[in-house]
Structure formats: C-alpha cells, structure tokens
Amino acid sequence: MVTKDQRRRQLAREKFERQQQRRVQLRHKSRMRNSIIAAVAVVVIAAVGGAWLGGAFDSSGKKTTAAAKGATPSASAAPTTPAAPVHDPCSKPAAGSPGKKQWKTEPTMSIDKSASYTFTLQTTCGAIPMALNAAKAPETVNSFKFLADQGFFDHTKCHRLTTTGIYVLQCGDPTGQGSGGPGYTIGDENLTAFGKAGASGSVTYPAGTVAMANTGQPHTGGSQFFLVYKDSPLAPSYTPFGTISKDGLKVLTKIAGAGEDSGQGDGHPNATVVINKATVTTS
C-alpha cells in the first residue's frame, strides 16, 4: 500500500525526471542550432573568399552590395554618429576630362620586347613610376603604351581601393565606375610569375606589383589595372606586368592611409586619385 507521502515523493521524482529530459532536449537543440549557424558561417566565409579570389578585380563593374539592393536601416536601429570628415591628402585634378575613344581590335605589336619601358602615372597624389616587363608580358605592355600614347588614361579616376584581405588600388577605367575599357580585350600573360597556387587556390602578389584586372575569365583584360601596396593573396589569374618604384609605393601608402568610403574594406578611395597624365617611355 503506497502512502500519500510516498506518492508525493514519486510524483516529485517523476516531475524532476521530466524536467531533466526537457533540459537535455533543449541542450541538444541548442547544439544543433549552433552547428547549423557555424556551418552557414563557414559557407559564407568560403563564398566571400571565393569572391576575393575569383572576381576580385572584375572589370565589368557588376559588384552587388546591400546599398545597391536598396537595403534600409531598421526603424529600431540606434542613431549613428556622423563620421568625421576624412582628410584628402591629394590635390585638385588638372583641367580636362577622360576621352571616349574606343577601338575594335587591340593594337599591332610595335614595342621592342628587349627594351626597358617605364609607365608613369602623374596623379593628384604624386607620381607613380612603374618598370614594365616587356619580355614576360609583351602584349600587355604594347597595349598600355598604345593607350598611354593616345591619352586614354589622362583625367581618369582610380575608382577602387581595398584595405582588407587584399591591398590594392584599381585604376584605368575612363568611366570611373569599374565598367569601362578600350573596346578590345587582350590575352593573359606571365601568370606563373609568383609560382603555382597552393591548397587555398591563391599565390602572393607582392607589394609593388602592377597587374591587369579582368572579369575572372581568360582573355578579358582591357585597360583596367591594379597597384598592390601590400602583399595580397590572389588567384594567379591576373597578368603581372610591372613593378612599382619605391617612391610610387610611398604615394600608394598615402592613398591607402586615407581609407575607402564603404567602411567594409572595398570601396572608392577617400583620397581624390586622378591620373592627370600617363606616359610610357623607353630608357
């Protein structure tokens, strides 16, 4: 015969066991949820890394951001303090505007592959001289000499600065939007300059490198190029065709120091970087 006291203890024990079971179930669900969140985070990080490596210098200008999609802040979001004005270390651009001339085919080869060529950008932030590698990237150097002789780069903005993950300034688009070019495309060259890609799919483009931008596909280079101011991991898909001088790197460091306007490490440079004049000369 079970007494009332024994019955109460039994009911209390059963209640405790049910509570313990619920706690175990809740912990299990929490672990499952955290595992799913971690898995999604890994996928997102991998996708972002792939974007850096695959289309970091997409010269088509098809870059999608939250702002571009029309995202708006939450009504419950706390008010933000306006950012302090950014100091612009560069001077005003020279009078003039980018040209609009286009060409249907790339220029006929006219450079001497054994000669030494210097590509110099006279920018609003200072001169950036680069020694070009005509022996390893003749098609690219030939195209840049042709475009510089035509004044194609004059009065154009350097439209993109990256300050996280990879460290480059991108220039060479007469539209200033990342979608322009000369009307023709050129092939890829010198892609093994920095060795073979490792397990990450990337190689290190060292500080001081100047290389071609493209859409991530072969033979899609045009006039856009990027200047590496700090060692950067990238897929070996972008033609390296020259080396920036020490003085040129100092100018790039000054530009990078002013930051970019997105706050996400990839946007327009806060510095007013305009190429007043670009030349390719022999020595």
- Asked whether the predicted pLDDT for residue 115 surpasses 50, the reply is yes
Q: Look at the chain and count its residues.
A: 283
Handedness of CA 132, 136, 138, 139 (dihedral sign): negative
- pLDDT reported for residue 29: 55
Q: What is the 3-state secondary structure (H, E, C) of 52-119?
A: HHHHCCCCCCCCCCCCCCCCCCCCCCCCCCCCCCCCCCCCCCCCCCCCCCCCCCCCCCCCCCCCCEEE
pLDDT at 136: 98
Backbone angles phi, psi at 54, to 5 degrees: -80, -40
- Whole-angstrom distance, CA of residue 240 vs CA of residue 131: 11
Would you call 173 exposed, middle or buried from its count of C-beta atoms within 10 A (0-12, 13-18, 19+)? buried
Spatial contact of 225 and 210, defined as CB atoms under 8 Å apart: yes
**Distance, CA of 125 to CA of 157 (rounded, Å):** 12
Predicted confidence at residue 23, as pLDDT, reads 54
Whether the predicted pLDDT of 126 surpasses 70? yes
Report the mean per-residue pLDDT for the chain.
82
**Domain boundaries of the chain, sorted by first residue:** 1-55, 117-282
**117-282: CATH topology:** Cyclophilin (2.40.100)
In this predicted structure, what is the pLDDT of residue 13? Answer: 53
Residue 35 has pLDDT above 80, yes or no: no
Output the pLDDT for position 93. Answer: 97
SS3 assignment for 173-222: CCCCCCCCCCCCCECCCCCCCCCCCCCCCCEEECCCEEEECCCCCCCCEC
Percent of the chain with pLDDT strictly greater than 90: 69
Q: Which contiguous run of DSSP H or E holds residue 274? A: strand 274-282
Answer whether residue 12 shows pLDDT above 80: no
Residue with tokens 């979608």: 179
Contact between residue 111 and residue 142 where contact means Cβ atoms under 8 Å apart = yes
Indicate the pLDDT class of residue 60, thresholds 50, 70 and 90: low
What is the per-residue pLDDT across 218-234, written as a single tens digit (0 to 9) for each?
999 999 999 999 999 99
> Residue 240 pLDDT > 50, yes or no?
yes
- Please give the average per-residue pLDDT across 18-36, as a whole number: 53
> pLDDT at residue 273 above 60?
yes
pTM for this entry: 0.74
Question: pLDDT by residue (tens digit) across 163-220?
Answer: 999 999 999 999 999 999 999 999 999 999 999 999 999 999 999 999 999 999 999 9
Residue percentage of the chain with pLDDT more than 70: 70
